[in-house]
Amino acid sequence: MIGQNEMNVTRSKMIFVVVILRIRLGLK
């Protein structure tokens, strides 16, 4: 349970970072 929840949080952070990078690249 704890391991899976931690994995979901990590995945959410990765998605968030990817979205930010794509937005920054799009602005440039």
Tell me what pLDDT residue 14 has: 97
Task: Tell if the pTM clears 0.85, that is, is over it.
Answer: no
pLDDT tier for residue 1 given thresholds of 50, 70 and 90: low
Tell me what pLDDT residue 23 has: 96
Tell me what pLDDT residue 3 has: 80
Give tens-digit pLDDT for 9-27.
Answer: 999 999 999 999 999 999 8
Spell out a b/e string for 9-28, using b for 16 or more CB atoms within 10 Å of the CB, else e.
eeeeeeeeeeeeeeeeeeee
Tell me what pLDDT residue 22 has: 96
Tell me what pLDDT residue 17 has: 97
